[in-house]
Amino acid sequence: MSGKIEFTRNYSDQSTNQGFQFEFYCDRCGTGYRTRFKASAIGKVTGALDAASGMFGGIFGRAADLSERARSAGWEKAHDDAFLEAMNELKPDFIQCPRCSSWVCRKSCWNNSKGLCKDCAPDMAVEMAAAQASRTVQEVWSHSKMAEEDREMLKEESWRKGVRASCPECNAPLPDNKVKFCPECGAKLQKDIFCTGCGAKLDPGVKFCGECGTRAQ
């Protein structure tokens, strides 16, 4: 077994006095793997010595000191051995990117075809699908906004405000559709309308004569 410890950042030590357990994480997505809890023989010994110290005192009181010495030496060595074992167990699930040096999981964050992590070499198919989905969402919102503007334009008060009338005699533009005479040629713009049935004068915009009921032309 190698004595080198490669993982020095992307792991969490869940070990206790009773045993060892470690979690390793992907630097990119945070996905983790946890090793099974491995009981510590040193932990059992120190636990027994601590119990003897508490029960009998006196000569056994020195068991506490012995417990600490056992833990500081034997436990630390057992801890390192357990870590190396856990590292070798889970290392195949991770790979270090040669460009950014991040340890990433092979399952989700490694681009096999490029030999780099997906931060350094994104999966083009995935990026294209994401870009297309984003574009579709933008178009949906754009069309929704356009539809609202169209509905607003269909309101009579909205489109009438945008009408710019012109004189039927000289085609000069008029300031609005309420003027009665052309400011350029003086032609009368709002001509009187008469009923074709009885000759009564009709108000602008009416559909039927108020005198005889004839439909306005």
Look at residue 146 in the predicted model and tell me its pLDDT: 61
Average pLDDT over residues 130-141: 82
Q: What rounded mean pLDDT belongs to the chain?
A: 76
Summarised one tens digit per residue, pLDDT across range 75-127 is 888 888 999 999 889 989 999 999 999 999 999 999 999 999 999 999 888 88
Q: Which is higher by pLDDT, 43 or 93?
A: 93
Percent of the chain with pLDDT over 70: 70
Residue 45 has pLDDT above 50, yes or no: no
What distance in Å separates the CA atoms of residue 7 and residue 104, rounded to the nearest whole number? 12
Average pLDDT over residues 196-217: 80
Range name among 46-50, 98-102, 191-195 with the lowest pLDDT average:
46-50
Instruction: Report if pTM > 0.85.
Output: no
Look at residue 71 in the predicted model and tell me its pLDDT: 56
